[in-house]
Amino acid sequence: MALHHHLLLLPLLLILTVHPSLSLSCTPSDRSALLSFKSALSEQFHGVFSTWTGPNCCSGWYGVSCDPTVGRVAGISLRGETEDPLIAASGRPGLMSGRLSPDLCRLDRLSSLIVADWKQVSGPIPPCITSLRYLRILDFVGNQISGQIPPSIGNLRRLAVLNLADNRISGPIPPSIVNVAGLMHLNLANNQISGEIPPDFGNLRMLSRALLGKNQISGQIPGSVSKMARLADLDLSNNRMSGWIPGSLGQMPVLSSLYLDNNGFSGRIPDNILKSPGLSILNLSTNKFDGPIPDVFGPRSYYTLLDLSNNALTGHVPRTLTSAAYVGHLDMSRNHLCGQIPNGAPFDHLEAASFLSNDCLCGWPLTRKC
């Protein structure tokens, strides 16, 4: 008789332990951490947080996801600009104010934390966030977050995406960041970050995008950067950097865009940079580069953007540009170039603006005859 009962119970036990909707009830401590997080924020237009009620935070709470194997909160994804019906249907972008509660740090299974494009979320990044050892994605883009990047950011050994762009973050790039060995995307653009790029920044061997433009970063480009074999996009534009640019940047295997414009870089433009076969976007405008433009272009040169304007470059317009596979936008204005602009592609499709304000350039597309 007893045996009979056990056999009947077995399928029921299996259902209870395996069926996700039954096992996925959130823990009371995760739930209370989420409610603290919610209470420090306010969002009027879309009612994002109106769904955050009831005991089971793993079911029906907008933007909250759980790991079914452990029944713990693994993701918070709140985006003020998205195609999601809740936000998109209202026809206006999201607006959220308030702060990021340190109670977030109790969600110690969190692997993705996205509070993006809400325009008015302010206050600091809670430093305890660096204890969230499962964190892979940290995205606070498009808010008014201030204070510093937590110095112990290097503790986040699983972090792959760090996006803090378009905020009001100040202070340095913490040197510990070079310990985040799996970091793939780093976007700190448009903040008030100062100090120098850590010398061993090049240890970030998985990094494919490093966007640090529009800050107050000073110092030189660390030579270690050229060891970053996966780096495709490097943006250091609109900072206060100076010094020579390492020629080895031209030997990086997948570098395709390099923005160094509007800094205080000086010296010659290295041959290797202009010869780099994968580089298709290069903006060196508004620096202090001098000397001639290396005449090293060839059939493997393919530039959608080549902007060398507003420097102190001398000599002639490189003749080898006529052998390039493609040159789209070219700007050599505001330098000290001289002599005849070569004939043929790409010069036949360019406008005079590309060559204005030089010392003694002549020939098409300028009106000045040679």
Residues binding ligand NAG (CB under 6 A): 237, 261-262, 283, 285-286, 305, 307, 329
Nearer to ligand NAG, 99 or 329 (CB): 329
Q: Which residue is closest to ligand NAG by CB?
A: 261
Shortest distance (Å) from residue 307 CB to ligand NAG: 4
In Å, what is the CA distance from 364 to each residue of 55, 60, 341? 74, 65, 7
Shortest distance (Å) from residue 350 CB to ligand NAG: 13
Shortest distance (Å) from residue 143 CB to ligand NAG: 25
Nearer to ligand NAG, 30 or 307 (CB): 307
Nearer to ligand NAG, 156 or 327 (CB): 327
Nearer to ligand NAG, 187 or 237 (CB): 237
Nearer to ligand NAG, 151 or 365 (CB): 365
Nearer to ligand NAG, 275 or 334 (CB): 334
Shortest distance (Å) from residue 332 CB to ligand NAG: 12
In DSSP notation, 205-254 reads TT--EEE--SSEEEEPPPGGGGG-TT--EEE--SSEEEEPPPGGGGG-TT
C-alpha 36/C-alpha 104 separation (Å) is 8
Q: Which of 141, 136, 135, 246 is nearest to 197 (CA)?
A: 246
Shortest distance (Å) from residue 168 CB to ligand NAG: 21
Shortest distance (Å) from residue 309 CB to ligand NAG: 7
Shortest distance (Å) from residue 283 CB to ligand NAG: 4
In Å, what is the CA distance from 184 to each residue of 136, 201, 230, 368? 10, 13, 9, 49
C-alpha 315/C-alpha 23 separation (Å) is 73
- Which secondary structure element, helix H or strand E, spans residue 20, and what is its range? helix 20-23
Task: Report residue 366 as tokens.
Answer: 């300028």
Nearer to ligand NAG, 53 or 304 (CB): 304
Residue 232, CB-side half-sphere exposure with 13 Å CA sphere = 5
Nearer to ligand NAG, 101 or 262 (CB): 262
Nearer to ligand NAG, 43 or 233 (CB): 233
Residue 31, CB-side half-sphere exposure with 13 Å CA sphere = 16
Task: Supply φ then ψ for residue 79, to 5 degrees.
Answer: -120, 130
Shortest distance (Å) from residue 167 CB to ligand NAG: 21
Nearer to ligand NAG, 191 or 238 (CB): 238
Task: Supply φ then ψ for residue 140, to 5 degrees.
Answer: -120, 25
C-alpha 238/C-alpha 235 separation (Å) is 9
C-alpha 155/C-alpha 132 separation (Å) is 9
Residues 6+ apart with CB under 8 A from 97: 41, 42, 118, 120, 121, 122
Shortest distance (Å) from residue 197 CB to ligand NAG: 19
Q: How many CB atoms lie within 10 A of CB 331?
A: 20
Sheet holding 233-235, edge to edge: 64-67, 72-79, 112-116, 137-139, 161-163, 185-187, 209-211, 233-235, 257-259, 281-283, 302-307, 326-331
Shortest distance (Å) from residue 295 CB to ligand NAG: 22
